[in-house]
Amino acid sequence: LDDEAIQAWYESATPSSRGRPQRYSDLAITTVLVIKRVFRLTLRAAQGFIDSIFSLMNVPLRCPDYSCVSRRAKSVNVSFKTPTRGEIAHLVIDSTGLKVFGEGEWKVKKHGQERRRIWRKLHLAVDSKTHEIICADLSLNNVTDSEAFPGLIRQTHRKIRSAAADGAYDTRLCHDELRRKKISALIPPRKGAGYWPGEYADRNRAVANQRMTGSNARWKWTTDYNRRSIAETAMYRVKQLFGGSLTLRDYDGQVAEAMALVRALNKMTKAGMPESVRIA
């Protein structure tokens, strides 16, 4: 609840269509969704929590009703972009599952699965130097990582030197998109992979190295591929800080909730990351 959110809490723009004008701005809805994720609250609890904060601050504002937030979340565009500009040396990419509906892991382990479980896949592209999330997308669980990749990478127009991802992205679709954006591909080929004809120099070099050494280990070491573990660190931070589930039931609302999660994580990253120092 910074000064920007408080100043722009109520909608001031002239309505562009017929009907009742919106009372609360998109930034107000975004702020409620962010606070909901950070403190792991339900929408009703978030409404009461924010109203109590306004009361303590002596700010004459009201939180949107929980039903209003649920409805507006379907159409709000939650921005998570950071003010950082310039070239990205290494972009690392990964995905993880967020549960929407289903039984807990302990119950499934003890008694087996009795009901279907529904998941969404969160795809992230992270700057390995700053740990900022540059691109993010939410998809259905039947969308493969390689299918989501082109739409993910097109979200940024910053110059990127190299992009690292795991073997699930070793497809022509991903390599073509990286080649189009003139990004060096650091994607390990699958075991027994063959050469691709055409302009796939990065991949063919990795295949040649695999055939020469019998694995991708040396290629990973020489190309600094292991930076990709920073993407896994980002996924760990998502699960530890915000939990591994989405609570809104509408898909468009789930997208807004996931982007609010990413926005909150970027704000925390900007506040400072721990520095690890070897002492022995």
From residue 251, how far is each of 74, 139, 148 by CA, in Å? 8, 9, 16
Closest CA to 63 of 78, 76, 51: 51
pLDDT of 114 reads: 58
Q: Domain ranges in the chain?
A: 3-72, 88-252
Query: What pTM, to 2 d.p., does this model score?
Result: 0.87
From residue 265, how far is each of 22, 74, 211 by CA, in Å? 28, 21, 40
Name the DSSP class of 105. Answer: H
Instruction: Mark 184-215 as b/e (b = at least 16 C-beta within 10 Å).
Output: ebbbbbeeebeeeeeebebbbebbebbeeeee
Q: What is the domain class of 88-252 according to CATH?
A: alpha beta
pLDDT of 263 reads: 94
R_g of the chain computed on alpha carbons: 22
Question: Residue 162 belongs to what H/E stretch?
Answer: strand 160-164
Helices (H) and strands (E) in the chain, counts: 11, 5
Gap between the Cα atoms of 155 and 181, Å rounded:
12
CB 115 within 8 A of CB 103: yes
The pLDDT tens digits along the chain (280 residues) read 888 889 989 987 766 666 677 889 999 999 999 999 999 999 999 999 999 999 999 999 999 999 999 999 999 999 888 777 889 999 999 999 998 875 555 555 555 665 667 889 999 999 999 999 999 999 998 999 999 999 999 999 999 999 999 989 999 999 999 999 999 999 999 888 889 988 888 888 989 988 988 888 998 998 889 889 999 999 999 999 998 899 998 999 999 999 999 999 999 998 887 777 888 7
